[in-house]
Amino acid sequence: MGIERAVAELGVLIYPGAQLAAVHGLTDLFGVANRIAAEHQSAQLPLLRVSHWQAEAGHTPQRVYDSHPGPDGTLMALLIPPSIGGFCEGQASAPLIRWLRQQHADGATLGGVCVGSILLAESGLLDGRSATTHWTSAKQFAERYPRVKLNADTPIVDDGDLITTAGLMAWSELGLRLVDRLLGPSIATGTARFLVVEHSDSASQCGSNFAPILSHGDAAILKVQHWLQANGAVEVSLSVMAQQAGLEERTFLRRFRAATGLKPTEYCQHLRVGKAREMLEFTNGTIDHIAWTVGYTDPSAFRATFRKITGLAPSDYRSKFGVSPAAVLAR
């Protein structure tokens, strides 16, 4: 008799011009991860249910493939693959944009590869957020979406509920990020090894990058989580967070911890350290500057918190996982 496992549905969008190699590659990647997870025979590891969603012009996307058919539920994540032909206006239809916004509002993590990042920008979800995109469209992206904080030299920007990647083949790293979140770093590493694809080992050695729980169903708390991701949890207080949620402080504290598994202060620490890890990997800013950028006025407090969460001092983390500017530009 098999072990009963929770199900996490991961949607893959098929829009006009989408790279089908990425659609099927992601499906295979999650299938391999499921197989490796099954070998552990643990009920704590969810089964990854992969669905394909076809976006036709003028229509809301519809499910056209389901790896494990079952009752309809909310998507844990939605991945938007790249397009070899680049972005064209017809890809961002009004029904598709509304649907993307609704999936995000319902708690799905959205991930865009190359043109997928542009579709996320078209939806407005990236306004005020950090993102990356393919180098060939960086100039036009910056001009068209001035409210997005574009980091064109960064291969992947993991902003918790929104993940963007710059390379056409970066769908594999995006998929592995989600495997890391849902099944753990060892299974992500095993999946990458089986497929013989590159995968950053910072997660396996220092714990997964911060992956907020978004599928809890508490709309007031989800609103605050999206707000914290947008402002980087910088200069926030309990009273301000409670106000954002429209709740009394004690009620907010109780519901926030029940929904996310963390106290608001712990949640903000993880969010800030997650952003700091990215900066340490892909930029050459001083550690004090990074501490200030992610919301710490006391660099020593930042160093202590960073070490507590990752097990490494910021300087050691950079030495181990940092990428030189030349290497970043070449990717």
Q: Is residue 2 one of the residues assigned to a domain?
A: no
Query: Under the phi-then-psi rule, with left for phi > 0, alpha for psi from -120 to 50, and beta for the rest, what region is 181?
Result: alpha
Stretch 41-53: mean pLDDT: 90
pLDDT band at 328 (very low <50, low <70, confident <90, very high): very low
Q: Verify that 130 and 16 share a domain, yes or no.
A: yes
Instruction: Count up the domains in the chain and report the number.
Output: 2
Secondary structure class of 322 (helix, strand, coil): coil
**pLDDT single digits (tens) 249-276:** 999 999 999 999 999 999 999 999 988 9
Sheet holding 62-66, edge to edge: 62-66, 47-54, 7-14, 77-80, 109-113, 162-165, 156-158
Bridge partners of residue 110, in order along the sequence: 78, 162
Average pLDDT rounded to a whole number, residues 206-219: 80
What was the pLDDT predicted at 100?
Answer: 97
Percent of the chain exceeding pLDDT 90 equals: 61
Determine, yes or no, domain membership for 50. Answer: yes
d(CA 173, CA 194): 14
Give residue 180's pLDDT: 87
Question: Does residue 71 form part of some domain?
Answer: yes
Same-domain pairing of 228 and 167: no
Q: Is 325's pLDDT higher than 60?
A: no
Give the pLDDT mean for 131-142: 90
Q: For residue 68, is it within any domain?
A: yes
Please indicate, yes or no, whether residues 242 and 163 belong to a single structural domain of this protein. Answer: no
Q: Is residue 72 part of a domain?
A: yes
The β-bridge partners of 11 are 51, 78
Least confident of 18-27, 37-46, 286-295: 37-46
Are residues 171 and 230 both part of a single domain?
no
Boundary of a domain, candidates 206, 239, 272: 206
Give me the CATH number covering residue 223: 1.10.10.60
Q: Is residue 326 part of a domain?
A: no
pLDDT class of 205 with cuts at 50, 70, 90: low
What would the pLDDT profile of 61-114 be if each residue is shown by its tens digit? Answer: 999 999 999 888 899 999 999 998 878 776 788 999 999 999 999 999 999 998
Helix (H, G, I), strand (E, B) or coil at 3: coil
Looking at the fold, whether 235 and 161 belong to one and the same domain comes out as no
Among 183, 206, 229, which residue terminates a domain? 206
Q: Would residue 87 count as lying in a domain?
A: yes
- Could you tell me if 189 and 267 lie in one domain? no
Supply the mean pLDDT for the chain: 88
- Residue 161 pLDDT: 94
User: Of 185, 206, 227, which residue is a domain's last?
Assistant: 206
pLDDT of residue 21 exceeding 80, the answer is yes
Same domain flag for 244 and 194: no
Q: Are residue 174 and residue 259 in the same domain, yes or no? A: no
Q: Let me know if residue 211 belongs to a domain.
A: no
- Say if residue 295 is in the same domain as residue 224: yes
- What CATH number does the domain containing 161 carry? 3.40.50.880
Same structural domain for residues 300 and 270?
yes
Q: Tell me, rounded to whole angstroms, the distance of Cα 199 from its chain centroid.
A: 15
55: containing domain: 7-206
Same domain, 192 and 132: yes
Q: Which residue has the tokens 């050459």?
A: 284
Q: Does 227 lie in the same domain as 177?
A: no
